[in-house]
Amino acid sequence: MTQVAAGYLPILLFLAIALAISCVFVFGPMVAQRFTGAYNPTPEKLSEYECGFPAFEDSRAQYDVRFYLVAILFIVFDLEAAFLYPWAVSLQHSGWTGWTAMMVFLAELALGLAYAWKKGALEWE
């Protein structure tokens, strides 16, 4: 083996182990349910389930936009939480500039939340 090929051996081993473990986690429960008797397909278990109601027959049918609105709000505030942790860890290095920038960011998010609340995006009827 050449020196370059030997450098890739740990990566290939890591990928092979990761593939084997992921296959065990994906196919293992399927095999286990067959042997334990838990495999009992019923029409209710096999039906599609989306957004709390059965799927439409027509793909062009309209449904409530609140599902999208809640999803967008979740993503916005989930990203906020994702930005808060690295900011808190590096706060002593960024100083007052980093603190001010994050306060501006949080103020913008608070304004967005107030706007969504005022428009009724958080109300579920």
Which domains, and CATH codes, for the chain? 63-125 (1.20.58.1610)
Weakest-pLDDT range from 16-20, 57-61, 92-96: 57-61
Cα–Cα–Cα angle for 15, 10, 6, rounded to 5 degrees: 130
pLDDT at 19 over 90: yes
Tell me which of 105 and 25 has the higher pLDDT: 25
What confidence score (pLDDT) does residue 125 get? Answer: 67
The model's pTM: 0.46
Burial, 121: exposed, middle or buried (Cβ in 10 Å; 0-12, 13-18, 19+)?
middle
Mean pLDDT computed over 62-77: 78
